[in-house]
Amino acid sequence: MSVKDAFAPIVDLIYPPRCPLCGEAIASQKGLCAACWATLEIPDVAGEDGVTAATLYNDTARQLVLNFKHGRKIALAGMMARQIATRLPELGGPWLVVPVPLHRIRLWQRGYNQSALIARELCKLRDVDLLVDGLVRRKRTPSLGGLGRQERAKVLTGAIAANPARIERLGGAQVLLVDDVLTSGATSNACIAALRAAGVRRVHVACFSRVIEGR
């Protein structure tokens, strides 16, 4: 038993577990209440087209992501990672887990990279190694919200690259690319292109929620 698990009952006594969405009392600090769980949409197919998404992007998933990314509820990383892990296909062989990078200014402003937090928790659940700085964001890009697919791709041109200090580890590797939300795929495509350029052999994308166009 870990120290964290050993002290969990004491933490629950001092800070009674509450659903991070609605505030209802729950059994432990690790998830949502039953009513909120029921509103999450789960994809029918796991690991389709090289992408594993734990949920489909609806109002509930959106609120969770906003609470996590901007509301500083970083404890949600564990729950999100567990949901991803349950849907990941058998990967086979050694893998490196690489999070989608943030630009250093945005990282400084937010204080953490939400994708890196999920990636770290995912490594605890699967026998894989974390390469937290495998990718770097070389230029700061504006928010991609409201932009079309082609505009997003244009904004991201040249923005993401493999970390020169990690080229040796990336060469020939299999990489699990982790993000919180997969929207148009422009960011993940830019990351995949950078990983391929570094000699990565295979890339599988893992995200907590995926936006499906036309829904």
Q: What's the count of helices (H) and strands (E) in the chain, helices before strands?
A: 9, 7
- Write down the pLDDT at residue 3: 41
- What pLDDT is stored for residue 139 in this prediction? 82
Express each pLDDT in 150-197 by its tens digit: 777 777 888 899 999 999 999 999 999 999 999 888 899 999 999 999
pLDDT in the model for residue 141: 74
* Chain CA centroid to CA 125, Å: 14
Q: Concatenated DSSP letters for 33-64?
A: -HHHHTT-B--SSSSGGGEEEEEE-SHHHHHH
Per-residue pLDDT at 59: 95
pTM exceeding the 0.85 threshold for the entire prediction: yes
Do the Cβ atoms of 85 and 125 come closer than 8 Å? yes
Q: What is the pLDDT of residues 11-22, one digit of tens each?
A: 444 467 888 888
* CA 180 vs CA 52, 101, 168, 195, 196: distances in Å: 11, 11, 27, 19, 21
Strands 174-182 and 96-99: parallel
Could you say which residues of the chain have pLDDT below 50? 1-4, 6-14
Is the domain spanning 40-210 CATH 3.40.50.10170? The answer is no
Locate the domains of the chain by residue range. Answer: 1-38, 40-210
Residue that is written with structure tokens 């994809």 in the block? 43
Q: By CB neighbour count within 10 A (0-12 exposed, 13-18 middle, 19+ buried), where does 144 fall?
A: middle
Note the pLDDT of residue 27.
74
pLDDT, position 148: 67
CA–CA distances in Å: residue 132 to residues 21, 121, 177, 189? 29, 12, 10, 18
User: Is 189 exposed, middle or buried (CB count within 10 Å of its CB: 0-12, 13-18, 19+)?
Assistant: middle
